Structure 1
Amino acid sequence: MFLLKAVKEFASGFLQAAKQAWWVEISTHEPQCLYYFGPFARSNEAEAACPGYIEDLDGEGAIGVQSSVKRCRPIALTIVDGQPY
């Protein structure tokens, strides 16, 4: 189990460094936040994870939740009112 985790972390790091990683980007209107979840090796893995992230934010009372899956390299995992958090 430890070896599998180590390999997955290495692969995620490699994908991130190569800018090939897929990320879930979720924005909320209230509070005004931008969240990044990932990295994922495949877009379908990121898509499959979206409902869980959205459900968590809905449960916390977020309003105006929108999501997308994209290849990117976020500068921060959470951005509040335009500022990295």
Structure 2
Amino acid sequence: MKTIWHNLKEVLINTFDYLGLAWWVEIVTQNPRCTYYFGPFLSSSDAKLSSTGYIEDLEVEGAQGIAVNVKRCKPNTLTIADDLGEKIDRKVQPTFGGQILS
């Protein structure tokens, strides 16, 4: 039953993402000046729950001035490095890494 729910949830997330209705974690750091998008998620609560791990990872990497926003969006670029004046597009398919499925 878990596998069926996992597959259904993945289809729903991909559909919501395609329509721009999926939830994403947007994290903006002041040092380095970057914007990161993590997702997509089916619900805002799933995104908020996962944001803790993303914040911890960035803190370990030395990021400072971290602001978090959970919102519905459809980001074109998943990492924007303002300090470097470039956009880094992590071509990653959702694998649900870091997400807790119930």
Scaled by the length of structure 1, the TM-score of the pair is 0.88
Superposition misfits of 4+ residues, deviation over 4 angstroms:
1-5
CA distance in 2, matches of 1:57, 1:19: 26
Q: What whole-Å deviation, never above 9, does each CA across 1:9-33 have from its counterpart, x for those lacking one?
A: 3222101111110000001011110
The gaps in structure 2 that reach 5 residues or longer are 89-102
- Tell me the equivalent position of 1:52: 53
Instruction: Give 1:74's aligned residue.
Output: 75
1:1-85 aligned at under 5 Å gives the runs: 4-81=5-82, 83-85=86-88
Aligned partners of 1:57 and 1:71: how far apart in 2?
Answer: 22
Name stretches of at least 5 consecutive residues in structure 1 with no aligned partner.
none
> How far 1:5 moved relative to its partner?
4.6
Q: C-alpha separation between the residues in 1 aligned to 2:54 and 2:77? A: 17
Q: Distance in 1 between matches of 2:87 and 2:12?
A: 26
What is the CA deviation profile of residues 23-63 of structure 1, one whole-angstrom value per residue up to 9, with x for unaligned ones? 00001011110000000110111111111110000000001
Instruction: Report the CA distance between 1:3 and its aligned residue.
Output: 5.2
Q: Which amino acid aligns with 1:38?
A: G
CA RMSD of the aligned region, Å? 1.5
Kindly provide the amino acid, as one letter, of the partner of residue 55 in structure 1.
E
Deviations 1:45-84 (A, max 9, x none): 1111111110000000001111010000001111111532
